[in-house]
Amino acid sequence: MSLNPTQNISIKKTGLILVIIFITSINYGQTTTYNQFWNEIQFTRTINEKWSTELNLGAVYSSTESSSNIFQQNIQRSARVWGHYYFSPRWKFSTFLAYNYNKDVPEIGQFKSPETRFALQVIYYFHKTGYTLSTRMRMELRHMRNEEGDYDNVLRYRQQIKYILPINSKVLREGVVYAIASDELFFKSGTKVTGLSFFDRNRLNIGAGYLFSDDIQAEVTYANEYLPRDNGNQIVNAASLTLTFNNLFRNLSKKLHHKNESSTED
């Protein structure tokens, strides 16, 4: 029995819809979602008007495939030392050396993968009245252990655009609440430990910060990451808390010195 053209078109449309549904179901079935908590403490120290140093201490907690508890596992601890050079009000050049203790990180695998990381970074600022827009370029060299116990070198390039908007003031200063939004693309070389795909991930961040003083601030953000991987895509929903202290020990030393002088005068 022959089919008329209308029936042929109908069958083709139905077949196309079924193929789309099938492909979509495969992609969805291969995608795993994790909920995480990222926290970091940042200590910065001004050397002069052109140079500063920074120390970051961080930890990452994650749910697992069998538990939705955001604090189910402590999957990473990290320490990072920075050097910053302020070339001009628009250009900032930085470098860092970091050590990450990775354990059961979902994107890597269920094994220990210590990592040493070196990076070069450039930030360009578009200073505008009422808000700040910046773009960040970072090249990272990651030296990390794979499942066989050997070490792989991974090159990763990161490109970010970031928007900061003060809410109750036109400038960032003590007592100001500000909104944050950023998006970052990651590209990497292929290795056993991180997979062979060139596109590493996309990270979207939205949140807010508050300046307790010119030297102390806190940021709370939500991050959404999409990670394409060889054995199944991953989505990470993360709550992030960052505390920053500028010239903490210098300021404490000044306060103690001032108290001692006041006590002597009394």
Domains, the chain, in order of start with CATH, read 32-263 (2.40.160.40)
Any residues with CB less than 8 A from the CB of 101 and at least 6 apart, and which?
76, 77, 78, 112, 114, 115
Q: How confident is the model at residue 11 (pLDDT cuts 50, 70, 90)?
A: low
Q: Is residue 257 over pLDDT 70?
A: no
- pLDDT digit string (tens) for 59-85? 999 998 888 899 999 999 999 999 999
User: In this model, does residue 119 exceed pLDDT 70?
Assistant: yes
Q: What CA–CA distance (Å, rounded) separates 187 from 26?
A: 25
**pLDDT value of position 170:** 86
Between residues 104 and 156, the one the model is more confident about: 156
Average per-residue pLDDT in the chain?
Answer: 86
Angstrom CA distances, 260 to 153, 206, 247, 249, 250, stand at 52, 44, 20, 16, 15
Q: What is the pLDDT of residues 205-233, one digit of tens each?
A: 999 999 999 899 999 999 999 998 777 78
Q: How confident is the model at residue 157 (pLDDT cuts 50, 70, 90)?
A: very high
Torsion of CA 100, 221, 50, 213, to 10 degrees: -120
What are the distances in angstroms from CA 217 to CA 159, 208, 209, 238, 247? 25, 11, 7, 20, 12
* Listed ranges 159-173, 182-196, 250-264; the one with the highest mean pLDDT: 159-173
What confidence tens digit (pLDDT) does each residue in 40-53 have? 999 999 999 999 99
Looking from the CA of 173 toward its CB, the CA atoms found within 13 Å total: 5
Give residue 47's pLDDT: 94
Tokens of 232: 């199944």
Look at strands 32-46 and 234-246 and give their pairing.
parallel
Which pLDDT value is given to residue 34?
Answer: 93
* pLDDT (0 to 100) of residue 164: 96
Average pLDDT over residues 229-255: 85
For the chain, counts of helices (H) and of strands (E): 2, 11
| pLDDT higher than threshold 60 for residue 116 | yes
> 127 or 91: whose pLDDT is higher?
91
Say what the pTM is. Answer: 0.81
Residue 249: the pLDDT is 75
What pLDDT is attached to residue 214?
Answer: 87
150 — pLDDT class (breaks 50, 70, 90): confident
Asked if 72 and 62 count as a contact pair (C-beta separation under 8 A), the reply is: yes
Most confident of 27-36, 165-174, 203-212: 203-212
